[in-house]
Structures are given as C-alpha cells and as structure tokens.
Amino acid sequence: MPQHDIRTAVRDREAGLAKITALSWRAGAAAVAVAGLLTAALGHHSSARAAPAEHRDNHGSIVIPAQPPGQAAGTGQVTSGAS
Amino acid sequence: MTRDTFEVFGTTAVLLVTRPGAIGQARSIADRLLAEIDLACSRFRPDSELSRLNAAGGEPTPVSAIFADLLAVALRAARLTGGDVDPTCGRALAGLGYDQDFADVRAAGGAPPRLTGPVGPVPGWARVQLDRGGRRVRLEHGAQLDLGATAKARAADKCAEQIADRVDCGVLISLGGDVGVAGQPPPDGWPIRVTDDHAAPAWAAGQTVTITSGGLATSSTTVRTWTVGGRQVHHIIDPATGEPARSCWRTVSVAAGTCVDANTASTAAIIRGAAALDWLHAIGLPARLVRHDGTVETTAGWPYDDPGDAA
C-alpha cells in the first residue's frame, strides 16, 4: 500500500474513533441526567414510604397505650363515662 | 394534687395537676384552648367555622389551622375504622332533633323529628375534601359535619399536652368523661372510675383503673338519650343507616395512646357490636365492654373487675 494511503487510513480511523468517543460521552452524560431525573422522581415516593415510625403510627393505626390500665381500688379521681 | 371543675361543651370538665399552685395557670391554658375549639367546631353556634361550612352549599370554604386539625383528626378516625366513626353524621343528628345544645334537646322531649322518613346512610367521609396546606374544605353531596365524636377527645389531648409542657407537671383533664393525661403521673398512676355516665356518683357501679399516659374514653348509648317522635334515641349514629346504632353493648371504655384514639375505638366498638371484641383483641387495645344485661367483656390486658365491682 502506498505510504500516503496508509496515513489517510490512520487519520480516518482516528477521526472515526474520536466521533465514537464523543458520541459515547454524550450518551453517557444523557444517561446520567436521565438517571438523576428518575432518582429524583422515584426518591420522592421512596421517602414518602419511609416516613418516620411515629408518623406512621399516628396516622396509620390506632395507637395502643404504653401500658394497659392497672387495677385500682376506691372511687378514682375522675369518672370516665358517657356525657 | 390540685383539682378544678368547670362546665364546657355542655358537659363537665375536671382538671387535675400534680404541682401545688399550678392549677390557675393550667386552667387559663385550658380555657383559652377550649374556647378556640368551641368557636371552630360547635354545631350549635351560628358563628362557628363548622356552621359556616355546613351552610356553604358545597363551596370551598377557608378554615383556621385549628379547624383543619380537628377535621383531619375526624377523617383519620373514619379511615382507621373503615368509616364506622364518620364525621358526616350532622344531618342525621339534626334529623333526630339534636340540632341545639343537648340540655335544650332533652327539655324539648317528644318533639317531632325534623326530617320525615328514613334518613338513610350518611354521605360518608370521602365526601369531605380537606386541603390542609391551603386550609380549605369542601363538602360534597350535601354532607353536613358533626365533629362531636372526636373533637372533645382531641381537646382533652391538646389541653393535657400544652399544660404539661408549659406548667411542667403531671396533668389529667376529663372533658365529659374523655380523659387525657400528660407529664409525669402520680407514683401510682391516675385512678379513674369507669362507668356508664361521667356524672354518676363515685359509688356508681363500675370499675376503678389507673393509667399513666395517653387517654381513656367511654362511649355509651344510655346517657345522651332523648325522645323524638315517641321513641328513645341516642347520639351514636351508625353511618350505614343514619340511625342511632343498635348495639349489643351499652357502654364501652377503651385505653389508648391518646384520648382521640380511645374515643375512636370506643365509638367504633358500639357501632360494630359483637364484632368489636375480635377487632379490639386483634389490634391489642385494652377495653371494657358492658352488655345491656350488665355482663362485662375485657380485651388486651384490661384488668379484671374487682369482685366487689359491678357493671
């Protein structure tokens, strides 16, 4: 192969590789951006699911007392009855 | 221990604090908060936010932060009970003649019902649109609110919490038998007599128990009763029928993490009837349920009745 054809082929190959590299970087950057957007969107729901326990307890179920009522004698300080 | 007794919401309030000399400040805090709550959600005051909302004809209506809180609590109770404790019972109660202070309702005994024919199911809590951030409420399909089932209990919780925070002592407040406690309790806990009627004498049949935190509430079909159209009715409405609940229980007392939750469960138990026993067992809520013949069932660690006590 003539010398100038070899140089031309090398230049063309390097130019092609440069184009592929540039495309790869753009594709990578776009993927990162899309991933970021997806993370933000899904992360919002994820944080809602992972609300603090006390928040869930207060809103998601009737809260049982820290301890059940104790037995007592006498008449009591107040009366709980219907009004 | 210092004690004060006063009238509020058409019933009797009892305030106890563990720190001598603190009762005056505690009472001031309670008075201010209870006045705000009454102005927000009384069904019998034409100037209340609730009255304005009920009269708004389904238009979005601005509400205060305290009203939004009380309504959010009521909607939560509805959600947690599958709609058995429903805030849209306003029209059903008014239809039974309960559209003024209860003392006046009872005094007018025998008055004809305001509505004719069966009321039918209440519109349901899903008809209430609360924009809590924007503080606006819209009632759809003619829904009319009554927050009586939960607002009084919420008031007890808020009073107890605010007094304990600001006066730094143990507090118990009973609003017509809905009891909320906060702060450091007495060494043996707060002794509470559980019976049908919060105004019953101390020796009335019942049981004495102690609590150290949270709340205790009692619902009964035997106390807030009146006669309308020749029949006796009570104030606990079954949302499925729009009529007073026909329950196998005459009285249910529940202890919970808050007075609101205790009230929510005791009201739901009356409406659910026999099925309430399994429900209370399943969620581990201590309760005392009294049948019309006086026999008692308990759940989830509620202490057995003393042999000397009767229902």
Q: Where are the domains of chain B?
A: 2-39+150-299, 47-146
From its phi and psi, is residue B124 left (phi > 0), alpha (psi between -120 and 50) or beta?
left
Residue B100, min C-alpha distance to chain A (Å): 15
CB within 8 Å: B188 and A76: no
Better-scored residue on pLDDT, B179 or B1:
B179
Chain A positions touching B256 (Cβ under 8 A) are: 62-65
Which range among A51-55, B1-5, B8-12, B105-109 shows the weakest confidence by mean pLDDT? A51-55
Test A83 with B193 for CB contact under 8 angstroms: no
Residue B187: pLDDT band with limits 50, 70, 90:
very high
Mean pLDDT value across residues B255-266: 97
Tokens of B191: 């002794």
Tell me, yes or no, if B1 comes closer than 8 A to chain A by beta carbon: yes
Start-to-end C-alpha separation, chain B: 29
Mean pLDDT, chain B, whole residue set:
90
Q: How far is CA B122 from the centre of its chain?
A: 19
**B67 confidence band (pLDDT: 50, 70, 90):** very high
Residue indicated by tokens 């707060």: B190
Arch. (CATH architecture) of B47-146: Orthogonal Bundle (1.10)
Is the minimum CB–CB distance between B216 and chain A shorter than 8 Å? yes
What CATH number belongs to B2-39+150-299? 3.10.520.10
CB B181 within 8 A of CB B214: yes
**Once rounded to an integer, what is the mean pLDDT over residues B249-278?**
96
Instruction: Check if A76 contacts B (Cβ < 8 Å).
Output: yes
Interval A59-81 mean pLDDT: 88
What pLDDT sits at residue A55?
34
pLDDT (average), residues B266-293: 96
DSSP state of B143: -
pTM comes to: 0.81
DSSP characters over chain A: --HHHHHHHHHHHHHHHHHHHHHHHHHHHHHHHHHHHHHHHHHHHHHHHT--HHHHHHHHSPPPPSSPPEE--SS-SEEEEE-
- The predicted pLDDT at position B201 comes to 78
Q: What is the pLDDT of residue A19?
A: 57
Q: Percent of chain B, pLDDT > 90?
A: 72
Which residues in A lie closer than 8 A to residue B192 (C-beta atoms)?
69, 76-80
pLDDT class of A56 with cuts at 50, 70, 90: very low
In this structure, of B30-39, B221-230, B273-282, B286-295, the range with the lowest mean pLDDT score is: B221-230
Residues in B closer than 8 angstroms to A83, CB to CB, are 11-12, 175-178, 197-199, 223-224
Is B211 within 8 Å of chain A by CB?
yes
Alpha carbons B278 and B252: distance in angstroms, whole number: 14
Write the CA distances from B37 to B69, B177, B212, integer angstroms: 10, 17, 26
For the record, the structure tokens of B128 come out as 């209430």
Read off the pLDDT of residues B79-128 as tens digits, 9 standing for 90 and up.
Answer: 999 999 999 998 888 888 777 777 777 676 656 555 555 678 989 999 99
* pLDDT at residue B296 tops 50: yes
Report the pLDDT value the prediction gives residue B117, as an integer from 0 to 100: 55
Rounded to the nearest angstrom, the minimum Cα separation between B203 and chain A is 7
pLDDT at residue A41 in the model: 41
- So what's the pLDDT on residue B308? 52
Say yes or no to pLDDT of A72 above 50: yes
Check pLDDT > 70 for residue A43. Answer: no
Comparing CA positions, the residue from B246, B90, B266 lying closest to residue B176 is B266
pLDDT at residue number A12: 63
Residue in B197, B206, B286 closest to A65 by CB: B286
Distance CA B175, CA B182 (A): 15
Q: State whether B203 and A75 contact (CB < 8 Å).
A: yes
Checking ipTM against 0.90, whether it exceeds it is no
Residue A34's pLDDT band, with cuts at 50, 70 and 90, is very low
Task: Please state, in angstroms and as integers, the Cα–Cα distance from residue B238 to each residue in A57, B41, B123, B253, following that order.
Answer: 26, 21, 12, 18
Looking at residue A58, what is its pLDDT?
52
pLDDT at B203 over 80: no
Containing B67, the helix (H) or strand (E) segment is: helix B65-80
Q: Do domains B2-39+150-299 and B47-146 have the same CATH topology?
A: no
Say if the Cβ atoms of B177 and A66 lie within 8 Å: no
pLDDT tier at B199, thresholds 50, 70, 90: confident
